[in-house]
Amino acid sequence: MTTGFTALSSARRTIALLVLTLSGCVTIPPNALKMTPDTLERRHLQTRRFDGIEEKKILAASAGVLQDLGFNIDESETKLGLIAASKNRSAVSGGQIAVAVLAAVLTGTVTPVDKTQKIRVSLVTRPAATATSMGVTSSWYVRVTFQRMVWNTDNQVTRIEAIDEPAIYQEFFEKLSKSAFLEAQQI
Amino acid sequence: MTAKHAITLVLMALALSAFGCASSTKQVLATGASAVQLRSFQSRAFDTTDSETTLRTIIATLQDLGFVVDKADADLGSVSATKLSGYQLRITVTVRPRGEKQILVRANAQYMDKAVEDPKPYQDFFTSLEKAMFLMAQQVD
């Protein structure tokens, strides 16, 4: 048991050292600022068109939905149709804990598990180019994007990722449609 | 003797901490590539004077590239955004009038904790942006 423990922790130290040396010469991935084949698909997933509503009203409705979901608004710029918001939440997952407990029983080492996450969102409105009547745009594209960072019980970052699950975007837009409708009806 | 040792140790620690502090604050005004070179590959001129539409197009392009917008200011003409994709990439894009008929767009990016000083990623960004603008991005000196 003791030798296993030492081997494991020394392996972990080696990895930590490797990560440190690697981070000394980090370079940006070649496709980081390029459109990729899934760019269009993601754009569709993250965008909806709303007709017959002013930009300010759709933004107000969006702020309402974000608040419903527990986000705090960090920034907004109405002139550019932007709302940026975030929330800190637990990232504890039952499955991960079960694996960690099993590992602890088998090896005697404590495996760090995910603990907290920061979820960020930006929501942007953009005039739908085809629809202006008397110079006033009443059709708007709303694009929303979510991302998150996850920290474990050792306070290390374990995930830095965009959130791409279609269901999340669908549900968000369902809520926004309802909210925008209420906004349009002035209820 | 021991007191002397202690004093020497304290002095050494002080000297070290002062040195450490000085060397990392140097980063505040540090640049890698020359300022002129950086500005050249971080900037492009577009034949438009509509800065609001330009900013909106920049925001849309950043969203296409997987960024979440952190903040934007129409009056200052700036947008900052972050991309999380196994890494953290931060970008700030500014617009300002260039002469009577053009807008100058400048981008600067930070990958993890380093400035992006390679021309290629900026080229990629402007290639995406010019498609969205329906305008040619012009190299400026």
pLDDT tens digits for range A3-25:
444 444 555 555 554 554 444 55
Section B18-33 average pLDDT: 69
Is B124 in Cβ contact with A34 (below 8 Å)?
Answer: yes
CB contact under 8 A, B85 and A28: no
From B84, B87, B125, residue closest to A29, measured CB to CB: B87
Measured CA to CA, the distance from residue A140 to residue A152 in angstroms comes to 40
Q: What's the Cα-to-Cα distance from A139 to each of A18, A57, A94, B132, rounded to whole Å? A: 52, 12, 44, 19
Taking CB atoms and an 8 Å cutoff, what residues of chain A touch B59?
80, 82, 124, 126
Chain B residues contacting A via beta carbons under 8 Å = 52, 55-56, 59-60, 63-75, 79, 81-89, 109, 111-112, 114, 116, 118, 120-122, 124-125, 127-128, 131
With CB atoms and an 8 Å threshold, state whether A162 touches B85.
Answer: yes
Tokens, residue B82: 């972050």
- pLDDT, average across residues A161-166: 96
Predicted pLDDT of residue A5: 44
Sole residue written with tokens 């110079």: A135
| Helix segments in chain B, DSSP class H | 2-25, 35-42, 51-64, 119-133
How confident is the prediction for chain A on average, in pLDDT? Answer: 85
pLDDT of residue A130: 61
B76 — phi, psi (to 5°)? Answer: -75, -25
pLDDT score recorded for residue B27: 80
Contact A143 B63 (CB under 8 A): yes
The complex scores an ipTM of 0.80
**Higher pLDDT, residue A106 or B105:** B105
| Angstrom distances, CA of residue A6 to CA of A99, A126, A131, B30 | 21, 57, 68, 42
CB-based contact, A161 to chain B, within 8 Å: yes
Q: Which residues of B touch A74 (CB under 8 A)?
A: 70-71
CB contact under 8 A, B120 and A82: no
Is the pLDDT reported for residue A186 higher than 60?
no
- pLDDT tens, position by position, B43-53: 999 999 999 99
What is the reported pLDDT for B13?
Answer: 64
**Is residue A174 less than 8 Å (CB to CB) from chain B?**
no
pLDDT in tens, A59-116: 999 999 999 999 999 999 999 999 999 999 999 988 888 888 888 888 888 889 999 9
Q: Where are the alpha helices (DSSP H) in chain A?
A: 2-23, 39-46, 55-68, 94-107, 166-185
What was the pLDDT predicted at B34? 81
Q: Name the residue facing A33 among B65, B75, B114 (closest C-beta).
A: B65
Q: What is the DSSP letter of A78?
A: G
Q: For B85, which DSSP code?
A: S
Q: Residue A32: which of B60, B73, B89 has the nearest Cβ?
A: B89
Query: Distance between CA atoms of B2 and B117, rounded to whole angstroms?
Result: 51
HSE of A9, CA atoms in CB hemisphere, 13 A: 8
Beta bridge partners of B102: B98
A81 near B CB under 8 A: yes
